[in-house]
Chains A and B, each alone.
Chain A
Amino acid sequence: MPRLIGWRVLKMAAMVLAIVVVNFLLIHAAPGDPASAIAGQSGQADAEFMQQLREQFGLDKPLPVQLWIYVQKVLTLDLGVSHRLQRPVLTVIFERLPATLLLTGTAFAIALSSGIALGVRAARKPGGVADTIIMGVSLFFYATPLFLVGIVLVLVFGVWLNWLPTFGMETVDVPLHGLARMADIAHHAILPVVTLAVFYSAVYVRLTRASMVEVSSHPFIKTARAKGATEGRITWVHVLRNALLPVITLAGIQAGHLIGGSVLVETVFAWPGIGSLAFEALLARDYDLLLGIFLCTSVVVLIFNLLTDLLYLAFDPRVQAL
């Protein structure tokens, strides 16, 4: 097992390097560079100024040289400096990370727990009233685009009822501290978290239910029942444990996106996380920052892939190939 993990980590390192190179080339393939983006935003440019900017960012060197410099820097964990913000990329990313983790982590936990619980409930009596309702609602949220859910929630709870704040992470005109601040942030988080959670929750419901129904028909469940196991034990231990594998796969994918955040939800709700940062960086051709965000998110995706595979092992000893 440790050898397997070691081998996987080695493969991951190679993968990260490939990602760095591909990302770098992709970004530089787009027309325009930071100098032109800066000139465009400030509405002024002369040849000397543009040249000065390009030298400052090292853009005057040939592309392979720029790539080589970048890869060397990444190997020493130096992700460079954001042109636009004039600050180190790592600092900027770590500044924005807590907001994203709070948003996506909460949404993930809610989606996973509610999805599994409702899926199990629906599978208990397929075709029953509870099943019909749960499946209907989940189909609705599964099919509705994320932005539409967000807009409707904002309209109903933000504008008409005026119960919930529609943007930002906290109240800023009155500085709050301690518990009051936590409550305030939670209040602000309701709409974006719900928007983000409903889609995944619907997916987990459908996966869990289908998987539960399938596993319930297996002979070993009959055996368990024949042994006299209680219905609760059969559902939660025998069926669910075996039914969870596809859910884990999907959860692994979603967890990989935790750091990337959701560009859409963060933008709509003005949530100061990584997603909106990536969006700004793209518009400003902020190469180092964008590459830094890509790198961090891809590393996290790889880590969660590994964790998912390990979880598979724990849940189903028959799975051996890593």
Chain B
Amino acid sequence: MSESISSRGNNPTTATNTGPSRRALLKAGVAAAATVPFLMRVDEAIAQGIAPKRGGTLTSLLTPEPPVLMVGVNAQAPTLTVVSKIFQPLFTYTPTLDFEPVLAKSWTVSDDKKVYTFRLQENVKFHDGKPMTADDVIFSAMKFWMTLSLRARIVFARIEKAEAPDPHTVVFTLKEPFAPFLYGFGGTGFTIVPKHLYDVADMRNNPNNAKPVGTGPFKLAEWQRGSFIRLRRNDDYWKPNQPYLDEIVYRIVPDSQSRAVALQSGQVQLAGGNDIEPFDLPRFQAQQNLSVTLKGWEYYGPLAWIDINKRVKPLDDARVRRAMSMALDRNFILQKLWFNSGKVATGPLCETTKFYDASVKLPPFDIAAANKLLDEAGHKADGSGVRFTIRHMPLPYGEVWTRLSEYFRASMQKIGINVTMDTTDAGGHTARMAKWDYDTSINYIYQVGDANIGMEQYFTSENIKNVAFNNVGGYNNPRIDEILAKARFEINPTERQKLLSEFQRIAVEDMPYIYLIQMSFPTYYSKKLNNTITTAMGIADDFDDVFLT
């Protein structure tokens, strides 16, 4: 008996609580009549009294301006926001991180979990009119993404062979079972690019990067650097009558207060990501013509933490790190700095990430206990109440991060740790992290659905290298190495949960990082905009069902 995940086999119960979402309606429709293709969702919506309206221009904010509009070449959030309308993946994720078909109609997994078979949509064309086939999918996985994306390489390196038995079927055979395999194929990390344009030696500098050709509902129409990006509807889109919008215009506004003014005065109808500073959240929540949602970050799962250089004494002592964690009031951070956009962290994984264990808890906020712990660890205070001094490098990504560093300094003072600020700009921050030239710093990281894809590199000792966005703090725990290596290949979900639960327990006990909050960037949108956030990809979804009323 092989496991099958498809539009029809998907769990229909998720549809009942999601309100007027088109995707939810689609699923309800599919569950009711199994033979109806899932394009029926338009009619289903009309039956529910929400007639999608064709036409109109959506004006959105975008910060900062993407350097190029090509998937793979750049993986910054603003780039993904735009290219996700032009290029599409095989499937996307529901808010609970279940799979939802896009270019793949359905897929099956063999019993030994080594053979993955994808059935593709049949009438999909690239923007240049050429049909999308199994060859494009194989090329995208085996060459394009293997070459350009480190994260994709973790997954696609497991493939032994890729075959196309017919133009609309792709079969991947793995060398050995790899538990998070499917997480390599969804969302913005794996989109299908045309083989006929990209099968060249230097894909990164391909001249076609200037005019992206995808299968998505929108095409790039105009890009005035420093000013705006205009996307126009793809009239040959593979879903009939979609997309609903005629155009999406992304306005590039570098100043955060100017962006807030643009949103407030109605000059733009959509803002997300880092467009609006967290302290503006309450103001916009009160505004009548706007909706604000925290949904749409379930896939990325951004987690803010304090990064600790564990080569520096006394930060190499787990008791010291635990004491530092106990001196931080995460509720204060969430409420006063982030205005409740998110949740406090409970460990290294976000709640939405698969195999999150709710029974793992951080030591509670308790200054007295933290002081006691430091005394026990042998770090006595001197005459002026200082136990020791550390250098802290703030994250140079905007005002709220600076405030967080200031709060960190004030909190550490209460337990006798003197913090000196060591400020740098974004380029310097990355460079110094890579050189291990810091004591503590702050960062936030994306989990992309699975611990073995998003988090592994920060915890395993093989990733202690002079390269940023790895285990730069030098955390070395043989047990963690062992657990994560096992979890990678464990295909029994119960066994995998056991392993990843143990990982979470040790990661809290040892506290190689001080986990702060599970972030969620608010999306602000005009009440006239419908179906804005329906998947775990948020504003980086393809928007083919978004419409203006």
Contacts and interface: CB of A to CB of B under 8 A. Distances in A.
Given A31-B431, A44-B75, A167 B469 contact: no
B226 A162 contact: no
Contact of B467 (A37, A50, A170, A272): A50
B362 to A, nearest CB: 24
A154 B261 contact: yes
Interface in A137-170: 151, 154, 158-159, 162, 165-170
A285 B151 CA distance: 24
Contacts of B445: 43
Interface string A11-36: 00000000000000000001111101
A151 B257 CA distance: 9
B430 A167 contact: no
A96 B426 contact: no
B360 to A, nearest CB: 25
B434 interface: yes
Contact of A276 (B75, B226, B465, B470): B226
B225 A167 contact: no
Contacts of A30: 425, 427-428
B228 A37 contact: no
A184 B424 CA distance: 41
B226 to A, nearest CB: 3
B101 to A, nearest CB: 27
A77 to B, nearest CB: 22
Contacts of B224: 172, 272
A36 B430 contact: yes
A48 to B, nearest CB: 9
B425 A44 contact: no
B176 interface: no
Interface string B465-497: 111111000000000000000000000000000
B227 A272 contact: yes
Nearest to A83: B67
Contacts, number: 155
Interface string A264-280: 00011110110011011
Contacts of B251: 167-168, 172, 270
A68 B440 CA distance: 38
Given A159-B261, A270-B252, A96 B431 contact: no
B226 A167 contact: no
Interface in B376-434: 424-432, 434
Given A46-B467, A173-B249, A166 B254 contact: no
Interface in B222-266: 224-228, 230, 247, 249, 251-255, 257-258, 261-262, 264-265
Nearest to B254: A267
Nearest to B425: A283
A40 B427 contact: yes
Interface string A281-313: 001110000000000000000000000000000
A235 B447 CA distance: 74
Nearest to B70: A86
A76 interface: no
Contact of B427 (A32, A151, A154): A32
B245 to A, nearest CB: 12
Interface string A44-61: 111101100000000000
A273 B427 contact: no
A97 B446 CA distance: 38
A39 B431 CA distance: 9
Contact of A32 (B209, B428, B446): B428
Contacts of A279: 254
A284 B243 CA distance: 35
Contacts of B253: 167-168, 270
Contacts of A159: 261, 264-265
Nearest to A263: B254
B150 A45 contact: yes
A151 B264 CA distance: 15
Contacts of B469: 39, 43-45
B76 interface: yes
A96 B226 contact: yes
A124 interface: no
Interface stretch (B57-65, B316-324, B365-373): B57-65
Contacts of B429: 32, 40
B74 interface: yes
A33 B432 CA distance: 11
Contacts of B470: 45-46
A31 B265 CA distance: 40
Given A46-B150, A47-B465, A159-B264, 4 more contacts: A32-B427, A96-B226, A277-B226, A280-B254
20 contacts: A31-B431, A32-B425, A32-B427, A32-B429, A36-B427, A37-B430, A42-B74, A43-B76, A47-B467, A49-B150, A96-B225, A99-B226, A158-B261, A166-B261, A172-B249, A173-B57, A270-B258, A272-B226, A280-B64, A285-B427
Please provide the 6 A-B residue pairs with the shortest distance between their CB atoms, ordered closest to farther: A272-B226, A32-B427, A40-B430, A32-B431, A37-B427, A272-B227
